Structure 1
Amino acid sequence: MPFVRIDLPQGKPPEYRRTVGDVVYEAMRTTLNVPENDRFQVISEHAPGGLVIDPTYLGIERSADALTIQVTLNAGRSVELKKAFYRAVADGLHARLGLRREDVFISLVEVPKENWSFGNGEAQYA
């Protein structure tokens, strides 16, 4: 059910992009109870100037490697689950890619279940 958009600076190798997607998917599975094979991701690279991320907002020092992750998912998960997801993604990207935790921006967009169609012109969750 989640749909993930990952935006990162241009120039990362394919393995890097794949690992970012893997970490996000694994974190969704372990913290947000996302079903197996429920993986829908768009990973986009942006040239300099095409990805605007404030380098100091809220006192967090971000580098040129900062990326954004937006997850659209069904409404209803607890704040505790969301916090566990944020932590799992930041920790996973740090452990597997050396990405600084400060460089991980995550946004969750919650929608009602009837707002999904996975194919065939049907609302599978409605």
Structure 2
Amino acid sequence: MPLVRVELPAGKPAEYRAAVGEAIQQAMHAALKVPLQERFHIFTEHAPADLVIDQTYLGIERSVDAIVVQVTLNEGRDAEVKRGFYRTLADGLRERIGLRPEDLVVNLVEVKRENWSFGNGEAQLV
């Protein structure tokens, strides 16, 4: 059960956010084997001065439409699986909302299973 945070420029319509969420969920399902119904997404919009993404880091030309997707998930997936997720997500966002692959920054944060509580003050995964 990943927790997804999406940081994006302010002013995007609800349909845009929904399409981003659907692309993320489909990519996690296809590449990371996350069940489709396990959806925990947080969207935060930022004014231009509050979403600072280096526009040329590593020689990649990013635009003002760049977004950051951070996924906190259980540890244990290998680099090949993660690369597959990055590619699947970039392709899905291009198809759904026309986001250039250059405008997608992804960060995976791996945690141990005991670092989750889904309610009732319990650690359900241990």
The interval holding the TM-score normalised by the smaller chain is over 0.9
Shift of 1:120: 0.9
In structure 2, the partner of 1:28 is 28
Shift of 1:48: 1.4
Does 1:53 pair with 2:53? yes
Equivalent position SS for 1:42: strand
Aligned pair count reads 126
Q: What is the TM-score with the length of structure 2 in the denominator? A: 0.98
Shift of 1:36: 3.2
Equivalent position SS for 1:99: coil
In structure 2, the partner of 1:91 is 91
Does 1:4 pair with 2:4? yes
Query: Which residue identity does 1:78 align to in structure 2?
Result: D
Q: Quick check: 91-100 or 55-64, which moved more?
A: 91-100
d(CA) in 2 for partners of 1:15, 1:101:
20
Query: Which residue identity does 1:25 align to in structure 2?
Result: Q
Q: Assess if the C-alpha contact under 8 Å between 2:25 and 2:36 holds in 1.
A: no
- Runs (4+) of structure 1 exceeding 6 A deviation are none
Query: Which residue identity does 1:83 align to in structure 2?
Result: R
- Consecutive unaligned residues of structure 1, counting only runs of 5 or more, are none
In structure 2, the partner of 1:67 is 67
In structure 2, the partner of 1:118 is 118
Q: Cα RMSD (Å) of the superposition?
A: 0.6
User: Taking every aligned residue pair, what percent have the same amino acid on both sides?
Assistant: 60
In structure 2, the partner of 1:101 is 101
Equivalent position SS for 2:99: coil
In structure 2, the partner of 1:81 is 81
Q: What is the TM-score with the length of structure 1 in the denominator? A: 0.98
